[in-house]
Amino acid sequence: MRRPSRLPCHCSKGDIREKGNDVKIRGSKLIVKALEDEGVRRVFGIPGTHNIELYDALEDSEQIEIILVTHEGGAAFMADGLARSSTEVGVLAVVPGAGVTHALSGIAEAFMDHVPMVILACGIRSDTGAAYQLHAIDQMAVLRPVTRGAWKVEGPEDIYPMVRRAFAEATKAPGGPVVVEIPANFMMLVQDVPEPVAPEFLREENPPDPEILEKAATMLSGAEFPMIYVGRGARDASESIVRLAETMAAPVVTTFQGKGVMPESHPLWLWTGFGAQAPPFVRKISERCDAMIAVGCRFSEVATGSYGINPPAQLIHVDVESEVFGRNYPARLVSSCRAKPFLEGLLGLISGRRPSDVLTEEIAAGHRELQERWARQKAKPGKVTPGAFFAALEREVRPDTIFVTDSGNGTFLAAEHLRLESPGRFLAPIDFSCMGYSTPAGIGAALGKPGGDVVILPGDGAFLMTGMELLTASAYGIGVLVCVLRDEKLGQIAQFQKLPLNRETASILPDYSLEGIAQAVGAPFYRIVSGVELKNILPEALRRSRQGRPVLVELMIDSSEKTYFTRGVLKTNFWRLSWPDRLRMLVRAVIRRLA
């Protein structure tokens, strides 16, 4: 909750002096005041020579905790995980130049996936006129393409209102990162500024058009087999989606980010995705669809399995961003508004309830057959099948557990095997898909949901990028369970290479000791090399993580069977090639196999 505007009570003598209606105050204190008035509880980053006054002011705050990370990229991912798992905005405080560029991957991840974030990017001194200053680059040119706003403070009087404005912009639907660059001299020197006053921001919201609602209701009521497709943009409309699905007897599919928006124990939940990336029973059901309402999604490349879906001509697309309409798939009807008011309005126009017993039994049979097939799979010696691991994991964790995956095979394994009942429990880097996301993002998620289970699922390649952030978790007593899916390669890329190229070029990882890393960061360590070990090790590892310690588990995963997503993407892209290119690819693979 935002606090009313007031001067900070923790300012020391020399920090602030009154002068009529103006005050003299260090710029660093103005920044902290703006953060406190926004209800900020944590700031992630690493102090440097330019922003030591800001960190000094943060240390005086009774409300804000500084989270010192090992790398600014980790800070951005932690802020992302905090924002995705809670109602908080992720906040970074980074030094100019290298601090900004180190954080850039996490900022771009938040930009692509619409995650609220505010970046306090310190700038070089603007009062000396000196050239070639330490860390001097054009930060705005770097940051503008991957933020919803990038603003530079030109005068000390702009610090407080501009930081407040950044939060308003970052949280305005669909959300995303906003950067404020504040020159170092404004942070360290006492400034003469007007009394800080909380600015008023007009929050525009487009209500659904009644005429569009009427047309949508007519389209869906007249369809023989309607379907619902939902993304993360519909995360506040779960109840409405369930009611609409039950009223229309419509199966529901989600994007990866939308996983859990429709409770996955519901008999009308079909799958995470459809088209070539889905199992046969999902493809069979979704191909009967003659009308679809897509809510809170963009039809992006990953969500559609490399554009391997074929929505019906009777497509209704609802999203807060009008720019997404028609970019990849044409829609018969569009509405630029939030998901919940549109669905509530639609429910008021669709009457009656279609029978769904035949459909729900068909869906249930498909899921049963899939679970039985996974249960029958045998692992290679010294390995564990994904089916055995995820089944054991779901038996042990709490119902509200947050799962955090990384760029690569682990995301698609988790999406296909886990069954989630609510949104905000599946955190994954989707459209920017940056490796190294999961470990720091999971730490941020644990801060956002204290007392809950957080399970982090990096591949062994992704863990190498940011695994040292477990030192941060140890230092702050943040309990997370990190299960490294160890297949000793860049699993997703190796699978994409193997079929068309019959090689695994530069995707086989050198050996390294996870136990040694665990010892270095102060984390208990376990190793699982067979299915029978899951029953004993997972409960013990979770017990220790619940005591406020990061726990590292090395899981030797059998990744020999491709996910439905991987198979679908390979198939979609192969058939997209011309016949001569297909032939050349097949001949090359055969020759290499024979050789």
Q: What is the CATH number of the domain that holds 336?
A: 3.40.50.1220
Of 205, 164, 142, the closest CA to residue 40 belongs to 164
Same domain assignment for residues 36 and 102? yes
Classify residue 592: in a domain, yes or no: no
Using DSSP's 3-state secondary structure scheme, residue 65 falls into: strand
Classify residue 395: in a domain, yes or no: yes
Same domain assignment for residues 420 and 494? yes
Classify residue 287: in a domain, yes or no: yes
pLDDT of residue 190: 84
pLDDT of residue 496: 76
Q: Is the pTM of this model over 0.85?
A: yes
Classify residue 590: in a domain, yes or no: no
Classify residue 584: in a domain, yes or no: no
Same domain assignment for residues 544 and 428? yes
Using DSSP's 3-state secondary structure scheme, residue 325 falls into: coil
Of 407, 388, 402, the closest CA to residue 452 belongs to 402
Q: Domain ends where: 303, 334, 360?
A: 360
Same domain assignment for residues 230 and 176? no
Rounded alpha-carbon distances, angstroms, from residue 373 to 279, 368, 418: 12, 9, 15
Classify residue 257: in a domain, yes or no: yes
Same domain assignment for residues 297 and 333? yes
Cα(49)–Cα(33) distance, integer angstroms = 21
Same domain assignment for residues 443 and 500? yes
Residue 582: Cβ-neighbour burial (10 angstroms; 0-12, 13-18, 19+)? middle
Q: Domain ends where: 302, 328, 360?
A: 360
Residue 269: Cβ-neighbour burial (10 angstroms; 0-12, 13-18, 19+)? buried
Range of the domain at 322: 210-360
Same domain assignment for residues 449 and 491? yes
Classify residue 546: in a domain, yes or no: yes
Same domain assignment for residues 156 and 280? no
pLDDT of residue 15: 45
Same domain assignment for residues 554 and 500? yes
Q: What angle do CA 233, 116, 240 make, to 5 degrees?
A: 25
Same domain assignment for residues 229 and 152? no
pLDDT of residue 522: 97
Classify residue 536: in a domain, yes or no: yes
| CATH number reported for the structural domain that contains residue 394 in this entry | 3.40.50.970
291 DSSP β-pair partners? 226
Tally of domains within the chain: 3
Cα(215)–Cα(207) distance, integer angstroms = 16
Per-residue tens of pLDDT for the chain, all 595 residues:
333 344 443 444 344 444 446 778 888 999 999 999 999 999 999 999 899 999 999 999 999 999 999 999 999 999 999 999 999 999 999 999 999 999 999 999 999 999 999 999 998 887 888 888 888 889 999 999 999 999 999 999 999 999 999 999 999 999 999 999 999 998 888 888 888 887 887 667 789 999 999 999 999 999 999 999 999 999 999 999 999 999 999 999 999 999 999 999 999 999 999 999 999 999 999 999 999 999 999 999 999 999 999 999 999 999 999 999 999 999 999 999 999 999 999 999 997 778 889 999 999 999 999 999 999 999 999 999 999 999 999 999 999 999 999 998 999 999 999 999 999 999 999 999 999 999 999 999 999 999 899 999 999 999 999 999 999 999 999 999 999 999 877 777 777 777 777 778 887 788 999 999 999 999 999 999 999 999 999 999 999 999 999 999 999 999 889 999 999 999 999 899 999 998 988 888 888 888 7
Same domain assignment for residues 32 and 179? yes
Same domain assignment for residues 322 and 395? no
pLDDT of residue 13: 36
What's the distance, Cα to Cα, between the start and end of the chain in Å?
66
